[in-house]
Homo-oligomer: A and B are copies of this chain.
Amino acid sequence: MIDSYLFLGIALILLSTKAFSILFKRVHLPQVVGALAAGILLGPALFNVIQPSEAFSVLAELGVIFLLFSAGMETDFKQLRNSLKSSLLISALGVAAALGGGFAIASLFGKPPFESFLIGVIIASMSTSVTVEALQEIGKLKTKTGTAILGASLFDDIFVIVILAVVMGAGTNDVSIASIAMIMVRIALFFVVAILTGFGVNKLFNLMHKRIGSKGRFSIFALAYCFFMAFLAEQFGLADIIGAYIAGIAFCNTKCAEALETNTRTLSYMLFTPIFLANIGLQASFAGLTGSMILFTALFAVVAILSKVLGCGLGAKICKFTNKESLQVGTGMIARGEVSFIVVNKAIIAGFLGVQLFPSVIAVVLITVLIAPMLLKWAYADRRAAQSPFADNMH
């Protein structure tokens, strides 16, 4: 039997995320932030109307998959291919800066080197999902910088998976070149499978479209492929959303992409994205954050933000992006999420980090997730248009 409070929870989430989105839009703040705020308000951190539950986690995770699947479909494939090198450099410099910054701040608070390095790994990887939603909201997902950000987020996850495996292995003294090579081979293998099936699926859908025209069933088969790739990515040691994103890319220039995009958007908009965003807020809990931990958390958040803005921004600049574009790329990499939780969880379970660090990580994720959409909106704002008094009436 399903707990009927789940229905009440969904009703409250839909109502409040939409109401807050509208409110935030009125005062020129990103709607994403409104939805996140609604979740914090409803959750244990404030009014405690809704408790996090397995059911919400499942729906939120499906929401992330639909979001990344959409993002994949909207990707300009040529642009992605051309920006792969820039993405790699942007990601590498951002990860390095975050690792160094995290290490420095932890050392400053007296942590031993190994622990400090692990704390750096926590903030090394950005979170794609909130960024995608924020970029979609301001209509910049398909731009050159939007594509570079998405590409870099792929590399971020790969870097962190490999680094984490090395660090955890070193901590338990069972790291070997063979085991690291094995991880890299599995990742490479996944991308080979993804590229091969992607081209196959792309050809197949274009052929079917030519033969029998546009049909609703295409969307269902496409979604099945998306879920299969999400499963496969996890089987190969990657994140499910990487699979969903790459599955989306397979459809990005098919004839059925438009209907598929509309259908996936409806799923996201009507139910899954509100639950996914509110669910982040539901995780918020600041119990246990006192004294020096608050100072540490504040500095940790600043380092998390600056490391990506400067590191990724520098990477973009080296790759001949303009100053403005470099700033957009840097701010686009600020948001942290799932991966931070995965890293801290694994490190706590292995006994390398204390559980008292957890509220700090929650706070840093929340701060970056709330700030990133605002900075993105500002970084992408057209300064000239903003000077026009009519600019706002055009929407």
Contacts and interface: CB of A to CB of B under 8 A. Distances in A.
Contacts of A61: 2
Interface stretch (A114-122, A125-133, A191-199, A212-220): A212-220
B227 A270 contact: no
A225 B264 CA distance: 23
A305 B57 CA distance: 40
Contact of A221 (B14, B216, B219, B235): B14
Interface in A1-37: 2, 4-8, 10-12, 14-15, 18, 22
Contacts of A189: none
B225 A11 contact: yes
A353 interface: no
Interface in A182-237: 216-217, 219-221, 223-228, 230-231, 234-235
A271 interface: yes
Contacts of A234: 4, 7
B227 A7 contact: yes
Nearest to A17: B220
A328 to B, nearest CB: 27
A263 interface: yes
A240 B3 CA distance: 10
B270 A219 contact: yes
Given A5-B231, A7-B227, A58-B58, 5 more contacts: A4-B235, A7-B230, A7-B240, A18-B221, A266-B266
